[in-house]
Amino acid sequence: MADERPAEISDAEQVQLLKEQLARAQRMTALGELLGTTTHEYNNVLMTVLNYAKMGIRHKDEATRDKAFEKILAAGERAARITNSILGLARNRSGDFEPTDLAQLIDDALVLLERELRKYRIAIDTRINPAPMALVNPNQIQQVLLNLLINARQAMPKGGQVIVSLAQDEGTKMVELTVRDNGPGIAEDQLRRIFDPYYSTKKGPDETGKGGTGVGLSACRDIIESHRGKILVASTVGKGTAFTLRLPTADQRAVTGTPTIALGLPSSSQTPTS
């Protein structure tokens, strides 16, 4: 009788399987953290609705009731945006690539992190220029964007500014998404290691329980490489750090060959602000 034992899994296949399991665990952790953050925001929205509903019931004059209805409407619209952003993050759990509006991904990410950024006094400046659709897995790129935004927030515990920009690079014809902060920056010897697995410039998780494992940027690199894109980082101590994602457009074939990570300064328009 023929030997029906299953074929042994090669070392390479085991490594790939472990990577996929780690990526799934990271996605679930990120979603859990965001749900915790947005639950607090939902509670704030609900309290707004309840308080203005009570005010409208107590006061019979038309002006007060109109104000109450306006506040309730604004809170409802805010709740709808949060819901849509969470659903956007949860969709497309497969590895499928599709034409994606990165401006919408930026908007969704900022909605999800709005309360956290406001709590830590982080001012957001969005600079969205006309850009074609990118051919990406939207869920995976959303994860990268959220990771970069949270890293920027953690780099500025006393507050600061984050600039999120979107444009098309005229030289490569790829879509560029940049997250730039004006935090303390990263020393050159650390900068060359930040994409190494389990290397971290942080001492450990912050008060929210985020950060410190070194897995985040390594996972970001793997995701961008799987998209045949590039991730670039530029940092100046005392001035800030900028991460730039370069991704293929929906009407552009992915570049063949092994993708690379570029470390160093991006184009002059991407130099971190002082």
Q: What is the pLDDT of residue 267?
A: 34
Please say whether the beta carbons of 163 and 273 come within 8 A: yes
Any idea what DSSP says for residue 249? Answer: B
What pLDDT does residue 97 have? 87
* pLDDT at residue 90, rounded to an integer: 61
pLDDT at 256: 37
Residue from 35, 182, 53 nearest 122 by CA: 182
* N- to C-terminal Cα separation, the chain: 74
pLDDT of residue 255: 42
Instruction: Please name the residues in contact with 191: beta carbons below 8 A apart, sequence gap of 6 or more.
Output: 233, 235, 263
At position 33, the amino acid (one-letter code) is E
Of 227, 223, 201, residue with least CA distance to 214? 201
pTM of the predicted model as reported, rounded to 2 decimal places? 0.68
Q: Which domains can be identified in the chain, with CATH numbers?
A: 11-89 (1.10.287), 97-270 (3.30.565.10)
Residues 86/34, Cβ–Cβ less than 8 Å: yes
The Cα 145–Cα 156 span in angstroms is 17
pLDDT at 26: 61
Residue type, 179: V
Mean per-residue pLDDT pooled into runs of 10, the chain (274 residues): 60 77 65 65 82 89 89 85 69 73 92 88 95 90 90 93 94 93 92 77 56 65 90 94 95 46 36 37
Q: Angle at Cα 97 formed by Cα 270 and Cα 151, nearest 5°?
A: 40
